[in-house]
Structure 1
Amino acid sequence: MAVTIREVASAAGVSVSTVSRAFTAPDQVQPKTRQRILDAAARLGYSPNPAARSLRGGGTGTLGLIVPDIANPFFPPIVKAMQARARRLGYTVLVADSDEREADELETIAAVSKRVDGLVLWASTLTEDRLRELAAQMPLVVVNRHVPGIAEVRISLSAGIAQAVEHLRAYGHRRCAFVNASRTELSRGKSIHESFEALDMSLVELGPYEPRFETGVHAASLVAAHEATAVIAHNDLVALGVLHQMANLGVSVPGQVSVIGIDDTLLASVSTPSLTTIRIDPEEIATRAGDLLIDVIGGRTDTADSPFVEIGSRLILRASTGPAPTH
């Protein structure tokens, strides 16, 4: 038999109405009391009825998450973590894939927006004007995009990239390549170029391409042409493509070329060789994005000030980096 709201109220030592407010209007409940209610609900296995809440308040009880490529191993842990966080707060999550195409993203938004209370858009390909129009129509949070007036989860790669470049310099690398796989996210390339310039190291940029495994395969041949002894790829997926093609070309990693990815996906730790990468915590991203969206839905942010939260990064050392080859 399903757990009732009365059982949760009894377990938490509060009234039924307080339990209801904890899920439907959390800002009206004291944080300690609300946490006690959430703990009791989790312990008993209770979750609010989204359909009933929709009838009462006009909401759907659902959060939308649109990612550019669900096949990228970076995203499944984020989806899972966001679902867990949303469930704890009385929501479900509807996930869709834009396939990194503006037309597909627009079509997906049109379909999903009718069924959710708000949207998280990851690395959106839409113009700023279109995003502002969308934000005027419904609660919106963007990830890896900065648009004044729209709530944002900002992933800062500065620390991780600086650590990566220092690591390569310490190993004697002086000429490196960056495989750029994004036409919309400019901050990543900017941080990489600034870090190399700060240490007076040479950097050649390849791309921009699409952030796919095949991009790394294509770029691997160009790395040798530019005589680079190290590669920083846009993400782990691209870096794994580089590793794969280097092996096909008979190029030793890290003996002849060192390779660094970005994301720290599961595949990074099990590749051959294991991939040195810049870690971004998927659980932290999912939690902060979900919480920020719920705040926007509840009107607890001032979008005029472009509310944002920032997620940091750090270098994870593995076997794909080593000393620069001596000639």
Structure 2
Amino acid sequence: MPLTLPGTFATILPIDDQEGSVAVTIRQVAQAAGVSVSTVSRAFTAPDQVQPQTLQRIRDAAAKLGYTPNPAARSLRGGKTESLGLIIPDITNPFFPPIFKAMQARARRLGYTVLAADTDERESDELETITAVSKRVDGMILWASTLSEDRLAELAETMPVVLVNRHVPGIPEIQISLTAGISQAAEHLKAYGHTRCVFVNGSRPELSRGKSIREAFEAHDLSLVEFGPYEPRFETGVHAATLVTSSDATAVLAHNDLVALGVLHQLAKLGVDVPRDVSVIGIDDTLLAETSTPSLTTIRISAQELATHAADLLLDTIGGRAGGRVVEIGSRLIPRSSTGPAGR
């Protein structure tokens, strides 16, 4: 199906510009001509790269269907913008500004600029953002995309795309592996005598963070109660902290630092001492983790490493060198003051 914004005929793919008519998509032309979507795209943007017989078949199919290429798409494919797109879920999350800054620095050294946009973790906003940004960049990095696999595969056929924290076969991907960091967190809590833990889950169902955490904690004989899934925001931690106080858990692992800081904030308001009464661990290692009171034990994901690999992978994708390559970024525990011996 075409990548279409709800309630409109606007699509990422080339569309018929005639008002009031249903758009004919590049995918329909490809099916009618018996070729791939990328071949149809080349037929209209770089016809010299397509075999004459195939080119004629595509043109005939397009004429029969009434397909008209999008001028903006032709412009995008006809010349480089020297810009890269970065689509992130939530710019208010302190994890993302250092990612953007590091990616921008890497891109500048390679002769590119970076355009960043926030989707507020909503599919409709992500679709609108992609539609706008795709006209201004040579390729895009999509972070934890909310789009379906079919829509992402369709998008990847029309322009270079790299996914972060989302797997779709055949699309280049940056995979953040929390395996080492989570295992170290479980060992850390076990060594402090904790046996009953809570995981505040801010993951969407299709993401595997919760599953990885449950498996790691079970491997270390730690019981784990899960709250959520909720949205991965500060307010989630505030809400979850009250639930923690009504449980018998002595340790909390939060979906990210932002949620963990919400937990710390609310526990302090409730008179619960951290780490004497409850230990708290976050994920990401943002600047706020180090400066909070108490300082937050967290699982570090290197912003510099992540941004560098993401930019390089996208440039390889733009150059046709990436294939469906997956680059894995590791993690490790950073112990600070928010964890200590089990106290209740």
Q: Quickly name the TM-score band, shorter chain normalised.
A: 0.7 to 0.9
For residue 245 of structure 1, what is the amino acid of its counterpart?
Q
Structure 1 Cα separation of the partners of residues 227 and 76 of structure 2 = 53
Question: Given the alignment, which residue of 222, 225, 228 partners 1:207?
Answer: 228
The correspondence for 2:280, drawn from 259, 273, 294, is 259
CA contact (8 A) 1:121 1:142 kept: yes
Higher helix share: 1
Q: In structure 1, what is the Cα distance between the partners aligned to 2:77 and 2:202?
A: 46
Q: CA–CA distance in 1 between the matches of 2:147 and 2:196?
A: 35
Secondary structure of the equivalent of 1:115? coil
Partner SS for 1:273: coil
**Tell me, what secondary structure is at the counterpart of 1:211?**
coil
Residue 246 of structure 2 aligns to which amino acid in structure 1?
Answer: A
**Shift of residue 281, structure 1, vs aligned partner:** 0.2
> Does 2:306 align with 1:288?
no
User: What's the offset of the Cα at 1:185?
Assistant: 5.3
CA distance in 2, matches of 1:193, 1:325: 23
Shift of 1:55: 10
In 2, the alpha carbon distance for the partners of 1:55 and 1:321 equals 51
Structure-2 separation of matches of 1:55 and 1:125: 24
TM-score where L is the length of structure 2:
0.77
* Residue 173 (str. 1) matches residue 194 (str. 2): yes
Equivalent position to 2:338, from 303, 320, 326: 320
Deviations 1:79-103 (A, max 9, x none): 0000010000011100000010000
- Count, aligned residues: 270
Q: Secondary structure at the match of 2:135?
A: helix
Partner of 2:156: 135
2:96 is aligned to 75
Unmatched tracts of structure 1, length 5 or more: 1-53
Within 5 Å, give how 1:48-63 maps onto structure 2: 58-63=79-84
Residue matched to 1:308: 326
How far did residue 183 of structure 1 move?
1.1
User: How high is the sequence identity, in percent, across the aligned residues?
Assistant: 76
1:267-287 Cα distance to aligned partner (Å, 9 max, x none): 000000000000000010000
Matches of 1:156 and 1:118 in 2, distance apart?
A: 24
1:233 lines up with 2:254 in the alignment: yes
Distance 1:136 1:184 in 2: 26
Q: 1:185 to 1:72 in 2, by over 3 A?
A: farther
- Provide the C-alpha distance between the structure 1 equivalents of 2:336 and 2:109, rounded to a whole number of angstroms: 35
Distance of aligned partners of 1:185 and 1:282 in 2 relative to their CA distance in 1, 3 Å threshold: farther
- Answer yes or no: is the 8 Å Cα contact 1:123–1:185 preserved in 2: no
Partner Cα separation in structure 2 for residue 186 and residue 199 of structure 1: 23
SS of the residue 2:272 aligns to: coil
* Distance (Å, rounded) in 1 between the aligned partners of 2:254 and 2:226: 10
TM-score, normalised relative to structure 1:
0.81
Query: Matched residues in 1 for 2:244 and 2:231: separation?
Result: 17
User: Compared with structure 1, are the counterparts of its residues 184 and 195 closer, same or farther at alpha carbon in structure 2 (3 Å cutoff)?
Assistant: same
- Computed over aligned residues only, the root mean square deviation of the Cα atoms, in angstroms, reads 1.4
Distance 1:154 1:125, change over 3 A: same
- Rounded to whole Å, the distance in 2 between the matches of 1:142 and 1:253 is 37
Q: Structure 1: how far apart are the matches of 2:227 and 2:154? A: 34
